[in-house]
Structures are given as C-alpha cells and as structure tokens.
Structure 1
C-alpha cells in the first residue's frame, strides 16, 4: 500500500485473514453470527445499557439486546422535518442525537424510556451534519461549510444540550484558524469526531487528526495534530482533486483513542478501482495506530490491513476497548483484533457474509454488535453461531464517501 499515513518507524502490522475466495462465499473464523434483528435503513449503531440504537436514514430504531440470543426491535422513530439523511446516532444518558447528513442540523431525542423515544427538538446549524458526538451535556457536530475552496470552513461546533429543549452553540474549533493551508486545500473535511474526558479527537481526512482540549468547551485549544498525508496542504485543480480525495494517501475517516488515551486509532476510507480514473489503483484503507503519549511527537506504531478478501473492503467505523478492536470493513465484513500490545495487533476473528456490507462494529458484553447497511443489526460471537449470512436483505456499500466531494 502507498500512503502518507504509513510513516517510518512502524513497529507492527496486522495481516488480514486469508481470502475465502471472493464475495460469493461466507466466512467465519473466530467470529460467528449468533443472532440478528432486521432494521430497515440501518447505518450507524451504538449501544447503551443493553439497548442498541440504530440510525435509519429517516430516524432511529431501538433494539432490546438484553437477551442477545433473541434481540427484539422495540421502537422506531421518524424524525420531523427538516431532518433527513440520518446516518449517525449517538447516545449519552437519557439523550440521543441524530445527525442529518441531508438536513441542516441534529434531532435531539429523549430516550429515558428506550422503548418509547420522544423527539425533543431539532437544532438548526444551517449546514448538514454528517457525524456527531454526545458527552456530558454537550453535542459536538461536524460542519463542512465552504467559502472559496471545498471544506474551507471545516470545523466542529460545540452545543450545550444540558437543556435539550433549548440547545445553544457555545464554542467551535475551526481548521482554518490553526491550519489555514490545510483548510484551503479542498480535501480536508471534518469527517468524524470522538470525545473522551477533556479531549476532542477530529478526523480531518488528508489533514489527519487534530486533538483539542475541551476542558473549557467555550474555548477549545489545540493540543496536537498528526497523520497528515503529503500534499494535504496543497490545492489541486478540480480535475485531479477527486481521485486524490477518493484514494490513499490520507483519508482519515474515523478516529477513536484507547481508553487510557495513550494511543489513537485512525481508519482510512478509500474508494479505489473503478471509482477513480486509474482502474489499477486498488489500495484499500486500513486502520493506523498512533502512540500519542508525547503530544509533541506522535508516532505511528502499527497498521491493521483490510481483510484479504476480493470485495470492497475499506475501513469504516470501529470500537476500541482496553484490549480489543472491533472493526467494520463494508463488504469485507467485521474483524476482531487483540490490541493488548497496540504496536502488534493480532487478529482474533473475522466474519463476512454474502449480501452483507457493514457500517460499524461495537462491543457489547462479549459480543460484537454490527450494523449491516440497510438490513439490520447482528450479534457476533467468537465461538457460538453460524457462518451463514443474516436472513434479512442488506444494501450495497456506498460507491463514494458519505460526505460528497464539492
């Protein structure tokens, strides 16, 4: 693989599982289908208190996972206008937030009774919100406003939602304020965000990851930036910008720190092959591991390759625990890695199934819960279950990034 994220000094690389022979076969080694629940329109899924919350395009669905062998769809909610294109859901306590990729803001939902979610309000940003995060009474929203160049005003807005009936913007972190050349290059949206403790982690595509201190959310301050691809600060003509945007190097798509904050995992989403002018370009994005124990000198220590299976298999969303990484790879399925030693990740399991394309994978009480795009939620287990695909019909993976290149 080529790549600006594949920096010198890499200590370990996790190899993918051998190919099962193409997209017409099912594959389950160390990870099997334990149970499933159909949910029309499924994209992102998150878990809280044994419930699974799934974004559905038009709103949200809730699956009761208290009995993982027989999960049950217990609620659906259609968000009111002007919400639309809801690809992302987050939950924190009694509140859920639904980001409108096709609407101008986020929908806030009371989930104090998970079986009866109630829309509280729609917070207008004036711009689409691809991803968001909820933590400690604040909502963090990706905003990709443009001025002269695409994504030139990429930022994270910080909204006080302690009173969800009256949300209020109180702060922002704007890429152009700190890295004007990255902002002007036209290839660096704020694609996804993660909050842990006093830190906000932001994936800015070819500009890499920016960590900010949000101990005072009204005044986020820069901590460090790393993982940018060569040329990420150089504007390109529109004729060559698209291929650069769709392929490696770069493409920091999703970010999550280890629970202790010493490491940061960065997934790259790529759209090679027939989706760019060069059909011989088949480099798929993996997950890079950075040691950030010294914020002045972050360094890449490992890279997890995509599964070696002849399908569309770029990295998408994932979940990091103290010693495991649960990851989705679109048609490439779901993997589980031991990251006890982050510099030497080891694959523990891989599940892929004909007709399935996975948006995300998260932990849940000894299971991996994954969102099969358009079809529903699956519970995967290391030992028990089947190698077969779920019974419901899923959708094909997207053919371009969810944030369209402008």
Structure 2
C-alpha cells in the first residue's frame, strides 16, 4: 500500500531573501510622502520558513515552468504579478523589480506542457509604471467586438511628471499582435489603479477599478472605487464613484483613509480589489478594514449599497480579494495580513473567510479557513514582522474547489463542498516559492510566481509516472 504524502508537506528548511531595498507591496502604512503600499522589507539576516515537500495538488502535477524571456532593452528582468487565462493563452502581469515597465506577457498554451511566449504589451506605454493585473474577456458592443484586455497601471513614483496611473485597454483578438485602444486615467495624485475587473452588462462593457488612496490624495475629488464604461474602448467614460461616507456606519468618521470604527479602533479603509458576478449585476469591493462591500450594479450610473462583511474586534480587516461560489450564493474573502503581531489584534497571518450572501444586505459568516501557516510566527519576531511567507493572497473557485495563492506557501486547494467546513486537500509549492496569483481554467490551473513567472498545473489522470513531482 502506497503512503500518501500529498498533503503532508512540512516546514523543513529555510528560505533567506537577499538584502533588498524596501519594496512597496501591501497596504496600510503612512510616511512623510503619503500612503505607500506596505513596505514589506527583507533583510539577509531574516530567515523565512518555506514549505518543502510535495509540489502537487490532488490530481494535479507541475507540467511546465517556462523560462520567461527578458523583454527590456537594458537586459534586466522584471518580477511577475497576477495571471489570467483566455482562449488558451496565459496573460502574466509584472511587478516593480528593476523599475517596472514590464507590461503583460502573453503565452500560448496550445501545448500546456510547453508554453510559448508570443507577445508582450503595455510595457512601453507609460514610463515609470508597473502592470500587476490583467483581465481579458470577449466583448460585443456597438463599438467593439473581439477580445479586450484591461491592464492596471500604477506609478512607481507619483511625483514623476512623465508617469500616470489608471488602466490601459488593448485589443487581443489576435494575441500574437495586441493593439492599443485607449487609456483611462485616475487622478494624478494617486499611485493608479491596483486591481480591476471587466464585465459585460448586456451590450455594455464595464470596468470596475480599484484605485487605492485616490480619495485621500485628491481630498475627495476622486474616489477609490470607480465604474467606467468601456463599450467604446478608445473613449472610456467614468460613470460613478463610491464615497465611503455613504455607508451608514462610516458617515463623517472618515478622512479619506482612516475610519473610527464602532469597535473603538481606528482602521484603514481603501479599495484594494473588486469583482462582479458573470452578468454584471453585483459588485464585490474589497475595502480593507471596511470589509467586502456589496453593491447592486444593475444601474451602473447609480449603484446601490447593499451590505458588507464585518470583522471581530481582534481581527485585522485587510479584505484583500474576493471570489464567488455555489451559484454566487457564497462569498470567499481573503485577508492579506502581513503584520501578524500588530498591537491590539490576534497574532495571526491572513486567512480566508467564507460567507453566505443569499441575503446581500446581511452576509453571514459560515467559516474561517486557516492553515498551519496562519500562526507560524517566529518566537523572536519583531512587532512589525512582515514576510511573504504566510498570508493568504488571492482566491479562485472551480466547482467545489477553492484555490488560494499563498506566497511562499504556493497554492493551496480547499474542498468547499460544505462551505461551513472547508478542508485542505492539497498544496503545490514550487522551489523558492513566491506565488502571487492563481487562475483556474477547465483544462489547467495556472500560478504566477513573482520570481520565476508562470507555472502550469495539469491533471495527472492517475498516471503516477507522469512526473517525479507526484507523490502518492
């Protein structure tokens, strides 16, 4: 009888990051220049635990980890960010290493075990920017019919007169030859659009934009959450912006960033991410410590606030991203807590919460999914201990399986057949893992590693000899 080591990965080794300059990545710090995205800082004397052992999810194996081509003229490589798939092509965003400007990388997955990089776009459009998020969907409007890509654009330095933030729109009907269509700019004062979502609403195409700190930097002239009509991608038009003061519990106790919440704590509030259901009827906005805020989007010029998730007094909010399950009756909320020893809160990295949202005015917490990573905090960790290793990041759902990207934890698969009792069923942890995003297609699971780029996971169909990474 074979021993099944598939789920019994253990911490058995240490991953040490090289000394780097502070990298702005997450989300709730203030300094003399204003709001920055987090300052996760690495030092060569800070050892970070890495998951070792199985590189597999149940019934999946690593089929490919292609070397990503260097596309910059200076010969330097960028780091990588999120990943999306559409019609057999992978779209990989890029992060800030070596000054950003990495654009979006396109890989042909016709042979998933041998992906071919076929194009790069958005890398030379706006200097001093980076391009984390890309969404690609088929669009059919009076002005455009084809495959449309929207790409988030964030400034490395908002004081750079040559840069600007917002999102780009590209025609990728022919993925080998992407064509630029338009650009939507958020207020110059902010860093730009961090995450976004593209949805069709009848014959209308909408982009939902998460532009963190726009409210704060512009003193309310622009907001963190915008609904933009891109039916004509060459002329994107802002339809509506969300003022958090319209939420009853917030009111005037909000200065564009901090909120004096009812639990007596001063909490950060900004829009990190947003998704919609398949028909563009409802928007789910990850507003950090305000929770996941739900809107009726059926009239995109006048969305209606419905409700939001709430947190226990000892929980850092950190509502980072969301996904839907069970016919859109279940909401998955991931919380990116990268400072697990923050004063006044539980000692824990970020974990996942699952809600019943059949009544969208009153989300009901069903369960919290935690792993061995959640409380794996070194005894001698400083109060501001912050690493890539142990917080959950992004969620994706396929059927009754939830896939979570977990930085150095790789990808974790969770059975949510019963959302009240989520159960881990497998992990995939590549070498020197730093997994930013995960995407689920009917034929494969994609992961994006910040250091090495795309990973392709395929079904092994019971063939234990398919890869030496399969342990059963």
Is 2:147 the counterpart of 1:98? Answer: no
Matched residue count: 354
- Secondary structure, counterpart of 1:70 in structure 2: coil
Report if the CA contact (8 A) 2:334-2:350 is conserved. yes
- Structure 1 residues 301 and 316 mapped into 2: Cα distance closer, same or farther (>3 Å)? same
- Secondary structure, counterpart of 1:176 in structure 2: helix
- Secondary structure, counterpart of 2:65 in structure 1: strand
Q: How far off is 1:86 after superposition?
A: 1.3
Is 2:54 the counterpart of 1:27? Answer: yes
Counterpart mapping for 1:32-43 below 5 A: 32-39=61-68, 40-43=78-81
Unaligned runs of 5+ in 2: 1-6, 16-51, 69-77, 96-100, 139-146, 156-163, 260-266, 377-387, 461-465
Q: How far off is 1:374 after superposition?
A: 3.5
What is the CA–CA distance in structure 2 between the aligned matches of 1:375 and 1:150, rounded to whole Å?
A: 39
> How big is each residue's C-alpha offset from its partner over 1:255-302, in whole Å with a ceiling of 9 and x where there is no partner?
1121511110000101136xx677x98511111101111234321111
Unaligned runs of 5+ in 1: 1-15, 232-247, 389-406
Is 2:122 the counterpart of 1:53? Answer: no
Counterpart mapping for 1:298-377 below 5 A: 298-308=363-373, 312-377=389-454
- Secondary structure, counterpart of 1:21 in structure 2: strand
What is the CA–CA distance in structure 2 between the aligned matches of 1:153 and 1:229, rounded to whole Å?
A: 30
Report if the CA contact (8 A) 2:229-2:236 is conserved. yes
- Structure 1 residues 381 and 203 mapped into 2: Cα distance closer, same or farther (>3 Å)? same
Counterpart mapping for 1:77-156 below 5 A: 77=121, 78-81=123-126, 84-93=129-138, 94-102=147-155, 103-126=164-187, 127=190, 128-136=192-200, 137-143=205-211, 144-147=213-216, 154-156=223-225
Q: How far off is 1:227 after superposition?
A: 2.4
- Secondary structure, counterpart of 2:246 in structure 1: helix
Q: How far off is 1:176 after superposition?
A: 2.2
Is 2:467 the counterpart of 1:385? Answer: yes
What is the CA–CA distance in structure 2 between the aligned matches of 1:266 and 1:65, rounded to whole Å?
A: 30
- Secondary structure, counterpart of 2:245 in structure 1: helix
Match of 2:228 among 159, 163, 180: 159
Where relative contact order (Cα < 8 A, 6+ residues apart) is larger, the structure is: 1
TM-score normalised over the length of structure 2: 0.69
What is the CA–CA distance in structure 2 between the aligned matches of 1:226 and 1:206, rounded to whole Å?
A: 10
Q: CA RMSD in A?
A: 2.8
> How big is each residue's C-alpha offset from its partner over 1:185-205, in whole Å with a ceiling of 9 and x where there is no partner?
260110110011300000111
What is the CA–CA distance in structure 1 between the aligned matches of 2:312 and 2:221, rounded to whole Å?
A: 17
Is 2:302 the counterpart of 1:201? Answer: no
Which piece of structure 1 moves more, 324-333 or 142-151?
142-151
Is 2:100 the counterpart of 1:62? Answer: no
Is 2:174 the counterpart of 1:174? Answer: no
What is the CA–CA distance in structure 1 between the aligned matches of 2:231 and 2:214, rounded to whole Å?
A: 26
Report if the CA contact (8 A) 1:326-1:368 is conserved. no
- Structure 1 residues 284 and 150 mapped into 2: Cα distance closer, same or farther (>3 Å)? farther
